[in-house]
Chains A and B, each alone.
Chain A
Amino acid sequence: GDSVTQMEGPVTLSEEAFLTINCTYTATGYPSLFWYVQYPGEGLQLLLKATKADDKGSNKGFEATYRKETTSFHLEKGSVQVSDSAVYFCALTSGSARQLTFGSGTQLTVLP
């Protein structure tokens, strides 16, 4: 079945540091890939997505590129802020299924 593997957290960075959160996937066919973010006490919000190979999703300074050859969708940001502290989930949908398959989530804490 489909699966998503994220790097283990928690991740703690200083403000303005570079962020990478690794995400790899296993899926049949050509999945769509997503990054969702969950702030404390809130639901999940879409951060960015990519629906085909080599697409780059971007939003709020975050980027991720759909790499079919390495089955990866790593999240990056060049300079994190304290307000980026949250849990980040990599996810996919594939085939005719519309439900999201999530990774385990990565807790990010950014210190001032």
Chain B
Amino acid sequence: DAGVIQSPRHEVTEMGQEVTLRCKPISGHNSLFWYRQTMMRGLELLIYFNNNVPIDDSGMPEDRFSAKMPNASFSTLKIQPSEPRDSAVYFCASSPGGGGKGDTQYFGPGTRLTVL
């Protein structure tokens, strides 16, 4: 399998612009996670989906952030409007979802976002 695919790998944008990050999970996995990595806060969960349904979005920073999973093979994370403090590496991960809390999560390569 190709693994988790994220695009773009790098994004540089100006404050106020809309940013859309994309993720294709591993085929057959039914849980999908969005994490953000910063120097100050480390790795933190933003949102996760199970069977395309958002289960926990308590980590989404504010209304500027939204995430969708229209089908089992695609998810987006949108920031509108973007701010410099959103600069981070955003990771998507997927897991089979059938093994409960022992499931392994498989991470994509990440999208490095820079907001000027």
Contact = CB atoms under 8 A, between A and B. Distances in A.
B107 A99 contact: no
B42 A46 contact: no
A42 interface: yes
Most A CB contacts (10 A, CB to CB) among B91, B93, B102 go to B102
A45 B4 CA distance: 12
A43 B101 contact: no
A99 B91 contact: no
A4 B46 CA distance: 18
Contacts of A17: none
Contact of B91 (A32, A43, A105): A43
B42 A99 contact: no
B42 A94 contact: no
B76 to A, nearest CB: 18
Interface in B27-85: 31, 33, 35, 42-45, 48, 50, 55-56
B110 interface: yes
A111 interface: no
Contacts of A95: 101
A104 B107 contact: no
A34 B43 CA distance: 14
Contacts of B104: 34, 46, 49
B78 to A, nearest CB: 20
A73 interface: no
B105 interface: yes
Contacts of A43: 4, 91, 107-110
Interface of A: 31-32, 34, 36, 42-46, 49, 51, 89, 93-105
Given A97-B101, A98-B31, 14 more contacts: A31-B101, A34-B104, A43-B4, A43-B91, A43-B107, A43-B110, A96-B101, A98-B97, A98-B103, A99-B33, A99-B45, A99-B48, A103-B42, A105-B43
